[in-house]
Amino acid sequence: LKARGYTVLTADSSSEAERVAGEHRGPIDLLLTDMVLPGLSGRELADRLRAWRPTLRVIYMSAYPADVLVRQGRLEPGLWTLEKPFTEESLDAALR
């Protein structure tokens, strides 16, 4: 993402992501998160960050297919997901 000109904020856990997002003074346009994280799930993290940044867009990554996550109630139908492993092309498509 950095090579494509994006500014990237990184975090190793949901709590660190909340801290990083809370300390960042500029805009955050997109959250690219795994569905499974230490602490909160990616969905719970997105909900919390959207409470302070309502226009935040989210792309979820998972080793599980999106239809499985929807059936399990972990993801709403129609949300952007990237199935791991993913290609640079599929990441570019999701970002657009």
> pLDDT digits over 44-93, tens only?
999 999 999 999 999 988 877 777 776 776 777 667 688 899 999 999 98
CA distance 59 to 83: 11
CA distance 27 to 12: 20
User: b or e along 7-37 (b: 16 or more beta carbons within 10 Å of the residue's beta carbon)?
Assistant: eeeeeeebeebbeebeeeeeebeebbbebeb
pLDDT at 78 (0 to 100): 67
For residue 77, give both structure tokens: 């139908």
- pTM: predicted TM-score of the whole model, two decimal places: 0.84
